[in-house]
Structure 1
Amino acid sequence: MAELVFCEPTELYNILNQVSKLSRLAEPNYLCLLDVRNKWEYDESHVITARRVKQKGSEYLIPESVDLECVKYCVVYDRNTSTLGVIFEEDDDEKSDKDGRVPVFGDAVECGKVLSHFTRHPVYILRGGYERFSTMYHFFRTQKIIWMPQELDAFQPYPVEIMPGKIYLGNFNQACDPKVQKDLKIKAHVNVSMETGPFFLGDADKLLHIQVEDTLDASISPFFRHLCHFIDIHLELGSVVLVFSKLGISRSCAALLAYLMHRNGQTLKRSWVYLKRCKNNMCPNQGFVNQLLLWEKIVLGDTVTDILDSLY
C-alpha cells in the first residue's frame, strides 16, 4: 500500500507547469488530479485538469480511465484539509468520545487511503485543499471539465516557482507574456540570454541583462556577484523576480543555482536537488557546472560537490 504525503500548493503549481517539448499535462501517466468536493463546488470552479471523484454511499468511485499503477503523481484535494491525521466532529452518537466528538478523516485523506491500494507511488494530499490553492493561484481556477489531448498539448505553462511568491524561473516567451507578469505580480527580471525584449522600458533598475551564450566556453561566473546582489535588493524591496533564459533550462538554471548557493550558504549538490524538484528538465551545460563548482568554493571556502557522483 502506498503512503499518503502532503503536497504543498507550490508543489502542485510546479507539477502543473512542467514541460518536456510540450506541457507534461499532455502525458497520460503524468498527473491524476482528483477533486473530492461536492458537485456544486466542483462545477463552480476547480483546479485545471482536475476530475471530480464521485461517491456511491460512503464508497469513492475511482475514475475508470485512470491507470493509477502507472501515474507518476496522484494528487487529491478537498475543500481545506490541513492534517493527515484524525479530526473531530461534534456528535451525540455512541462512537463519540467523552466530549461528544467523533474522530474522522478529511475527505481527501479518506479518498487517498482508497487510492493507496492501487498505486506504487505516494498519494499526495493537497495541504489546505482547494481554498488555499485557489487563493494563491487564482488564475488556475476553471469550470472546464473535459480536456482534449490537443488542448493539453497547447497548454501554456507558467514559470515554475523557486521561492514561493518571490522568485520564478521561466523562458523568454513567458517573460514576454503580459498575463504571466500580471498573474505572478512580476516586478523585476533577470534575463540570462543574448535576446532582448521590451521589459521595463524606462525602468532599467528592474532589469538585469546578463548577455551570455549557452556554450561550453561561455563565461557566466563573472556575473554571479552582481546577480546575487540584484536579486537580494529586489527581494528586500518586496519585488517578485523572474529569472529566465531563452528556453529556461540551462543559463537561467545556472544563475539560480548560484543564487541559491549564495542565499542559503549551501552546496551545489543541495541547490541542484532543490532546483531539480522545481523544474525537472533543468540542464545547465557542463561549462556552467564547472563554474558553479568554483563558485561553491568561493561561497563555502571549499569544493564539496562531486560532479560525477552527485549531479548528472
Structure 2
Amino acid sequence: MSCGYWDMDAEVLIEEFDAQEVVPKLFIGSMSAANAVHQLKDHNITHILSVSTKPPVFDKNEFKCLAVEIEDEDKWDISSYFPKCHEFIKVGRDLGGILIHCQAGVSRSATIVISYLMSIFFKPFWDCFQYLRQIRPCIQPNKGFISQLINYESVILSKASKEIVSTAQQQQQQQKQLCLTNDDHTEQQSKYLENNNNLNDIHQHDITIQISFDSNNNNDSQE
C-alpha cells in the first residue's frame, strides 16, 4: 500500500517509504519498503523479516534476513513462527533496526508485530491491535490469524500472572532474608554491648581494688 507524490520539476513519481516505526528500531511495511534499500539504510535498518512466499533477495553483507514463507490464508499456522520471529526481532533491535514486511504490510506482517507487542508488554490482542492500527491504519490480519492471536493472548496473560507471582515470592524471600540479617545484626550488637559492659565492670573492679590498695599503703606509711 505505497503512496507517492509528484516531483513536478523532475516529472517523476517519487515513492514514499511505505513503513512506520512501531516501537524504537522496529518498523512495519510493505514489499516496496523492503526494496527501498537506500531508505532502509537511512533509517538504520540492519535486519529484515520477510513474511512472504516470495521474499526479496538481499546482499548478505548489507542486511541480515529471515524469511517466513507463508500465504495470507486463514488455514496457515502463523503462531508456530512467533518464537523464532520474536527472537530475530530482538536481535535486530539490539544490533540496529528491523523491518517486518509482507506483500502489502496489512495482514501477515501485522500479525507478527502484534504478537511481538503482546509478548513484550503482556497486553491483550485488542490493545496491541488498536495501538498498531493508530500507527499503520491499513493493517487487518485475516480471521484465522486473529483467532491465533486471541489464543496467544491466553498464553501471554498466563505467563504474565506467573511472573507477577514469582516476583512477589522473590520479594517476600528478600524481605525475609533482610529480617534475618537484621536479627543477626541485633544479636551481634547485643553481644557487643554485653561484652563492653563486662569489660566496664572488670575495669571498675580493677579501679576499686587499686584505690583500696593505695589506701592501705597510705595507712601503713602513717604508722
TM-score by length of 2: 0.63
Aligned to 2:140: 283
CA distance in 2, matches of 1:170, 1:256: 11
CA distance in 1, matches of 2:48, 2:26: 10
Question: Is the CA contact (8 Å cut-off) linking 2:7 and 2:14 kept in structure 1?
Answer: no
TM-score by length of 1: 0.46
- Please tell me whether residue 219 in structure 1 is matched to residue 77 in structure 2: yes
C-alpha deviations, 1:168-223, integer Å up to 9, x for none?
1111121112222121111001100101222243688x211111100111110000
CA distance in 2, matches of 1:156, 1:290: 34
Say which is worse superposed, 172-181 or 271-280, in terms of deviation: 172-181
C-alpha deviations, 1:25-49, integer Å up to 9, x for none?
77xxxxxxxxxxxxxxxxxxxxxxx
Aligned to 2:131: 274
Cα distance change of structure 1 residues 266 and 200 upon mapping to structure 2, 3 Å threshold = farther
- Please tell me whether residue 244 in structure 1 is matched to residue 101 in structure 2: yes
- Please tell me whether residue 234 in structure 1 is matched to residue 92 in structure 2: yes
Q: How does 1:85-100 map to 2 (within 5 A)?
A: none
Aligned to 1:162: 22
Question: Is the CA contact (8 Å cut-off) linking 2:46 and 2:62 kept in structure 1?
Answer: no
- Please tell me whether residue 178 in structure 1 is matched to residue 37 in structure 2: yes
SS in 2 for 1:189: strand
Deviation at 1:230, TM superposition (A): 1.2
CA distance in 1, matches of 2:34, 2:145: 22
SS in 1 for 2:28: strand
Cα distance change of structure 1 residues 179 and 203 upon mapping to structure 2, 3 Å threshold = closer
SS in 1 for 2:15: coil
Aligned to 2:66: 208
CA distance in 2, matches of 1:200, 1:256: 24
**Equivalences, count:** 156
CA distance in 2, matches of 1:283, 1:251: 9
- Please tell me whether residue 199 in structure 1 is matched to residue 199 in structure 2: no
C-alpha deviations, 1:62-110, integer Å up to 9, x for none?
xxxxxxxxxxxxxxxxxxxxxxxxxxxxxxxxxxxxxxxxxxxxxxxxx
Deviation at 1:270, TM superposition (A): 0.9
RMSD: 2.4
Which runs of no fewer than 5 residues in structure 2 stay unpaired? 160-223
Which runs of no fewer than 5 residues in structure 1 stay unpaired? 1-18, 27-145, 303-312
CA distance in 2, matches of 1:284, 1:208: 20
What is the identity percentage for the equivalent residue pairs of Structure 1 and Structure 2? 26
CA distance in 1, matches of 2:23, 2:59: 22
More strand per residue: 1
SS in 2 for 1:216: coil
Question: Is the CA contact (8 Å cut-off) linking 1:200 and 1:207 kept in structure 2?
Answer: no
- Please identify the structure whose Cα radius of gyration is greater: 2
Question: Is the CA contact (8 Å cut-off) linking 1:245 and 1:251 kept in structure 2?
Answer: yes
